[in-house]
Amino acid sequence: MNQAPIDRTGAWQRLMEHAEEMRGAHLSQLFVDQARGSAFTRRAAGLTLDLSKQRWSDATLSLLLDLAREAGVPEGIQALLSGAHVNVSEDRPALHTALRLPPEASLLVEGEDVVPGVHATLDRMATMVERLHARQWRGATGRPIHDVVNLGVGGSDLGPLMVTHALADYRPADAHHVAVHFASTMDGSQLADYLTRFNPETTLFVISSKSFTTIDTLSNARTARDWLMARLVEDGKDVDEAMVMRQHFVGVSAKPEKMSEWGIAEVNQLLFWEWVGGRYSLWGAIGLPIALVIGMANFRELLAGAHAMDEHFAQAPLADNLPVLLALAGIWNVNFLDIRAHSILPYDGRLEHFAAYLEQLEMESNGKSATHDGRQVGYSTCPVLWGQLGPNAQHAFYQLLHQGTQPVVCDFIAPLTRYDDVEDAATRDHLMAQHRLTLANCFAQSRLLMLGDDAIDEPGERPGHKRYRGNQPSTTLLLDRLTPATLGALIALYEHKVFVQATIWGINPFDQWGVELGKQIAGETERILAERDGLDRMDASSRALIEAVWRAEQEGER
């Protein structure tokens, strides 16, 4: 791919000129147009996307759509969905969308239909889930498994963690026998806690790692294996190591040979493919913890919702295409209004882990500065993205959003309906009132961020510390209700947004070379720390830090 840098195109230049005109505009003036709300709102797959509080106009959007066409977004979408090698640096497709194709579909990749393999894996997951829910999966001593601990990090943790939390209400009755937990940190913090509380006889570990080389996950896995062996084999419970491996470990990876080498029994290996990126992988075997919590039928609903968004992405005209519009709003903010901070603010406690999930999805995908042909970009790419539950963030960092010096764009996310199915009438009324209160806060905050002082009618001048300048842009995303299907659509919306932005910026959203060198240097540092040798290769700061550890160790030994 050797096209002109995007910032040299006519569309980009026209947007630069247009941005000069728009820079002085305040959102409160733009809202003089009463039709603005509906003009910038679109719906698809159970989601409503309101982009009217973006600091843009019809003319802006039209120029951005020109930019998308000039960058080849329609061709990019087609290439992504058809299995072309869009992951250029690793020369392979990025086919997470294939994981949610219905069984009757077909998709040829290098001459082979990948859909039957996808559904064969789903069927194997279903069998495991059924066995665990039916209390038929027994530990080495014959007791049914009660606790399942997912050992994984990054894409092998954040997606399943986020979705299991978001959809915990969808737990089917038979899933209550199994409790699902997550341990990701390399320091063993979460795992150490589990090992003090769980019974080894009834605990199963799922080792989730696409590469099966990630040190964080493998260190946790080794600790878990030794714990089980010490408690079950060495304690004389009449079980052998092979039984423990077979009854207490499942592996999920794209590397079957590495799983076998580690000791995972072949029947307990769930596979996925190199063409599924780690942070795009919750839709298949990596989603096993999700299926364990919500059941396989709801898991398939999650896939169906994502597939509905894929279909919309493939077919809707650019001007009505939710992922494209969301991406263009981001491009406008970062590249033309110079807004480089982006906050994700769900107004629903079930989406507690959504911001952390998006941090990886967006920043690991698009936190890049080299184009496909190796040039350094001359423009900004992914903004700094962070977030928290909106109502809690109101009591934490909204001060900065309202009165700080940084322009920040916010995504407000909320379900329209909640709690209407609570059985007890009095509790239902209370909870529905709490939901209304939460929506009121969500809408009030985006309005205040937009209008500033103009949001209230208060006569007279106010001192500087009580003034709100407003004009902070935001997006509001409403889910009809939070269900497996709408959550699937929401996640797919952001996945595709990331792809559209990467296409415009000319970068590869599917690799992550920026994290590799750190792993190598950490390995070297660990060797120096352990062997107490090689310090002379270190800089003065690192030397002092390492020496502090050695001193602490010596004091501990005394």
Q: Are 159 and 286 in contact (CB under 8 A)?
A: yes
Q: Does 512 bind ligand F6P (CB under 6 A)?
A: yes
Let me know if 273 is exposed, middle or buried by CB neighbors in 10 A (0-12, 13-18, 19+). buried
Alpha carbons 350 and 458: distance in angstroms, whole number:
37
Kindly tell me which of 469 and 519 has the beta carbon lying closer to ligand F6P. Answer: 519
Give counts: helices (H), strands (E), the chain.
Answer: 21, 13
Beta-strand relationship, 409-415 and 474-479: parallel
Alpha carbons 87 and 372: distance in angstroms, whole number:
9
Let me know if 332 is exposed, middle or buried by CB neighbors in 10 A (0-12, 13-18, 19+). buried
Give the range of 152-160, 175-183, 184-192, 401-409 binding ligand F6P by CB under 6 A. Answer: 152-160
Task: Give min distance, CB of 225 to ligand F6P, in A.
Answer: 17
| DSSP codes joined into one string, 461-490 | ---GGG-------EEEEEESS--HHHHHHH
Kindly tell me which of 520 and 554 has the beta carbon lying closer to ligand F6P. Answer: 520
Give the range of 106-114, 154-162, 231-239, 262-270 binding ligand F6P by CB under 6 A. Answer: 154-162
Alpha carbons 150 and 144: distance in angstroms, whole number:
18
* 393: β partners: none
Task: Give min distance, CB of 214 to ligand F6P, in A.
Answer: 3
Alpha carbons 513 and 365: distance in angstroms, whole number:
10
Task: Give min distance, CB of 211 to ligand F6P, in A.
Answer: 3
Task: Extract the tokens encoding 9.
Answer: 């195109």
Give the range of 61-69, 150-158, 398-406, 418-426 binding ligand F6P by CB under 6 A. Answer: 150-158
Give the contact letters, 202-231, x = binds to ligand F6P (CB under 6 A), - = no.
Answer: -------xxx--x--x--------------
Alpha carbons 466 and 463: distance in angstroms, whole number:
6
Subset of 337-396 contacting ligand F6P (CB under 6 A): 364
Give the range of 148-156, 229-237, 380-388, 471-479 binding ligand F6P by CB under 6 A. Answer: 148-156
Alpha carbons 261 and 256: distance in angstroms, whole number:
9
DSSP state of 174: G
At residue 376, the 3 state secondary structure works out as: strand
Kindly tell me which of 288 and 308 has the beta carbon lying closer to ligand F6P. Answer: 288
Q: Are 369 and 376 in contact (CB under 8 A)?
A: yes
Q: Does 289 bind ligand F6P (CB under 6 A)?
A: no
The residues annotated as belonging to the active site are 364, 395, 519
Subset of 93-112 contacting ligand F6P (CB under 6 A): none
Interface residue with ligand F6P, options 51, 132, 153, 351 (CB under 6 A): 153
Q: Does 521 bind ligand F6P (CB under 6 A)?
A: no
Q: Are 149 and 181 in contact (CB under 8 A)?
A: yes
Q: Does 279 bind ligand F6P (CB under 6 A)?
A: yes
Subset of 304-323 contacting ligand F6P (CB under 6 A): none
Task: Give min distance, CB of 212 to ligand F6P, in A.
Answer: 7
Kindly tell me which of 153 and 479 has the beta carbon lying closer to ligand F6P. Answer: 153
CA nearest neighbour of 245 among 259, 233, 263, 262? 263
Provide the terminal-to-terminal Cα distance of the chain, rounded to the nearest Å. Answer: 62
Which residue reads 């001060």 in tokens? Answer: 399
Interface residue with ligand F6P, options 396, 515, 522, 552 (CB under 6 A): 515
Task: Give min distance, CB of 54 to ligand F6P, in A.
Answer: 30
Kindly tell me which of 278 and 452 has the beta carbon lying closer to ligand F6P. Answer: 278
Kindly tell me which of 513 and 550 has the beta carbon lying closer to ligand F6P. Answer: 513
Task: Give min distance, CB of 286 to ligand F6P, in A.
Answer: 8
Task: Give min distance, CB of 173 to ligand F6P, in A.
Answer: 32
Interface residue with ligand F6P, options 46, 83, 139, 155 (CB under 6 A): 155
Task: Give min distance, CB of 222 to ligand F6P, in A.
Answer: 14
Q: Does 156 bind ligand F6P (CB under 6 A)?
A: yes
Q: Give the interface with ligand F6P as residue ranges (CB under 6 A).
A: 153-156, 209-211, 214, 217, 278-279, 364, 512, 515
